[in-house]
Structure 1
Amino acid sequence: MFKTLVLVGIGGALGSVLRYLTTLTVTKYFSTIFPWATFIINVLGCLLIGIIMGLLEKNQLTDSSVKWLLVTGFCGGYTTFSAFGYENISLLQNGNTALTFLYIITSVVIGLMAVWLGLSLVK
């Protein structure tokens, strides 16, 4: 149990740091009302979790330490679904209803497609 907690913690810390660096990079180049950084992070995180889980399933390693480190830890620390929820509420509160629903729909649809793509890439 302790080993698993350490793996999740290390992965989560690394994922959180990369999320912060990704946010800095994206907002440097795309400064608009649309939350591009969170959108890109969520799509990349979905693609990454698809690739990792696909590889783990392919190699019958779904109960391995690698899963705790990379899926639960890293991907959990990297993706920003809580920020996604907050940004949607903020968009709604600021009267950007159409943009809110565009953001929700594109994030969910493209995120699911990215997971499928990640899984497909390793088959």
Structure 2
Amino acid sequence: MNWLCVVAGAMIGAPLRFLTDRAVQARHDTVFPWGTFAVNVLGSLVLGVLTGAAVAGAAASRLQLFLGTGLCGALTTYSTFSYETLRLAEGGARFYAAVNVLASVVAGLGAVFAGVTFAEAVWA
């Protein structure tokens, strides 16, 4: 039964990633992969809130599977981040590649910490 929670979350997360990526990228006329950056930071925020809720005992294991493993697993994408960073570097946009790595790590960690802090404030 647990696998259904993961599948259901992924059925939402994968199209959400695609649609969000396309919508965000269409609004920016740059080689920087804003769409992938946005979904990865959003996923980090959701995982932070979920982690904080789980620590407080406010998130059942099935919700963790649905949101954390399924939805966020399909929403966020390390492989696309890596591929796009490599393409930037190979295409001569090494500055953008470096910014993508640094900004993704800093913003992702910031988002997860913000999510945990928010959850602690709500469920403490």
Tell me, yes or no, whether TM beats 0.5: yes
Check if 1:77 corresponds to 2:74.
Answer: yes
Task: Count residues with an aligned counterpart.
Answer: 120
Aligned residue number for residue 106 of structure 1? 103
Aligned residue number for residue 94 of structure 1? 91
Offset of residue 31 of structure 1? 2.8
Which of the residues 1, 17, 20 maps onto 1:19? Answer: 17
TM-score by length of 2: 0.91
Q: 2: distance between equivalents of 1:121 and 1:28?
A: 31
TM-score by length of 1: 0.91
Counterpart secondary structure, 1:102 = helix
Aligned residue number for residue 35 of structure 1? 33
For structure 1, the 5+ residue unaligned runs are none
Aligned residue number for residue 121 of structure 1? 118
What CA deviation, in whole Å up to 9, does each residue of 1:62-82 have, x standing for no partner? 6x1111111000000101211
Aligned residue number for residue 50 of structure 1? 48
Runs of 4+ aligned structure 1 residues displaced above 6 Å come to: none
Which of the residues 3, 6, 12 maps onto 2:4? Answer: 6
Q: 2: distance between equivalents of 1:107 and 1:114?
A: 10
Q: Percent identity?
A: 36
For structure 2, the 5+ residue unaligned runs are none
